[in-house]
Amino acid sequence: MPRLRLWLVILVLIAAIVPARAQQPLNVVASFSILGDLVRNVGGDRVNVTTLVGPNSDVHIYTPAPADAKKIADARLVIINGLGLEGWLPRLVQSAGSKAAIVTATDGIAPRKLGNAADPHAWQSVANAGIYVGNISESLSAADPAGAAYYRANAQSYLAKLDALDREVREAAAQIPPARRKVISTHDAFGYFAAAYGIEFIAPLGVSTESEASARDIARIITEIRARKIPAVFLENISDPRLIGRISAETGAKVGGTLYSDSLTGEKGDAPTYIDMVRHNIKALTSALAN
Ligand SMILES: [Zn+2]
């Protein structure tokens, strides 16, 4: 009899452990580091997130590695920014022979347009990042319905953090004297940020980093800095710092530090998460632009 009871206890323990083990995390690929952080915040323990374009790397000019095809082949979902950011992705998905669903995180965002091209940097407005989070939560729930309540709860708590962050950025931007709310960045990555928070950005490069600045682009920026007394120029973690260094040397505009536009940093950097990135950027801007 005691032996039978022992077996019963063992069976109950096995029954309790096995379902937990059987719950494999959902494999999700995010195209670049900023998106990867948003997906991790919503997906939590139920999701295994890998990113293709890692920290301090440029998503515009990315060349996929063989390991990326393997990541995509193993994924249930591939979450991308869209708006033309990942021009290299369709070929990669095709060559990987992947059956993963492709989810566009910017669905529902009205893109900022530059001629015919959409500006892909929608995440630079914190309100837009909230739309990304909603899309991510819905796509994870569709792929893993048993986790729907969990994803919704994670999304709600992260959205509350984004709301607080958005207020923080607005309040900080409002402290900058209006005549000084203008800076130079390397490429045109802050259009959504500018529209949301009222700081003007002028860049020698367009919305992509694919082409180099011409002598004429640089001359135009130098003229504009002098004519409009633009107080500061900023480096980026994904771009060659020499261009901004040269513009600063010719105009006397100070280098206000680094802005993180398209990529997070590693754990020990200034911007290991999306929230850290936005907070770092607004601090760098307010300290460079204060009187
Ligand atoms: Zn960019």
For 90-141, write each residue's pLDDT tens digit.
Answer: 999 999 999 999 999 999 999 999 888 899 999 999 999 999 999 999 999 9
How far, in Å, from the CA of 213 to the mean position of ligand 1? Answer: 14
How far, in Å, from the CA of 22 to the mean position of ligand 1? Answer: 40
How far, in Å, from the CA of 148 to the mean position of ligand 1? Answer: 32
How far, in Å, from the CA of 10 to the mean position of ligand 1? Answer: 57
How far, in Å, from the CA of 16 to the mean position of ligand 1? Answer: 48
How far, in Å, from the CA of 9 to the mean position of ligand 1? Answer: 58
Arithmetic mean of pLDDT, 280-287: 97
pLDDT at 11: 66
How far, in Å, from the CA of 261 to the mean position of ligand 1? Answer: 6
The answer to whether residue 53 scores a pLDDT higher than 80 is yes
**Weakest mean pLDDT among 37-41, 185-189, 239-243, 246-250:** 239-243
How far, in Å, from the CA of 210 to the mean position of ligand 1? Answer: 9
How far, in Å, from the CA of 149 to the mean position of ligand 1? Answer: 34
How far, in Å, from the CA of 20 to the mean position of ligand 1? Answer: 41
pLDDT at 227: 94
How far, in Å, from the CA of 60 to the mean position of ligand 1? Answer: 6
Confidence of residue 211 (pLDDT cuts 50, 70, 90): confident
Question: Strand order in 101-104's β-sheet?
Answer: 47-53, 26-32, 77-80, 101-104
Confidence of residue 206 (pLDDT cuts 50, 70, 90): confident
Average of per-residue pLDDT values in the chain: 93
The answer to whether residue 257 scores a pLDDT higher than 60 is yes
How far, in Å, from the CA of 17 to the mean position of ligand 1? Answer: 46
How far, in Å, from the CA of 46 to the mean position of ligand 1? Answer: 30
The answer to whether residue 269 scores a pLDDT higher than 90 is yes
How far, in Å, from the CA of 97 to the mean position of ligand 1? Answer: 28
3-state DSSP of 195-256: HHHCCEEECCECCCCCCCCCHHHHHHHHHHHHHHCCCEEEEECCCCCHHHHHHHHHHCCEEE
How far, in Å, from the CA of 144 to the mean position of ligand 1? Answer: 32
pLDDT at 15: 64
How far, in Å, from the CA of 205 to the mean position of ligand 1? Answer: 10
How far, in Å, from the CA of 43 to the mean position of ligand 1? Answer: 25
Arithmetic mean of pLDDT, 185-198: 96
pTM: 0.90
Arithmetic mean of pLDDT, 156-176: 98
Confidence of residue 23 (pLDDT cuts 50, 70, 90): confident
How far, in Å, from the CA of 121 to the mean position of ligand 1? Answer: 6
Arithmetic mean of pLDDT, 72-94: 96
Confidence of residue 6 (pLDDT cuts 50, 70, 90): confident
How far, in Å, from the CA of 73 to the mean position of ligand 1? Answer: 27
Confidence of residue 8 (pLDDT cuts 50, 70, 90): confident
Spatial contact of 265 and 214, defined as CB atoms under 8 Å apart: no
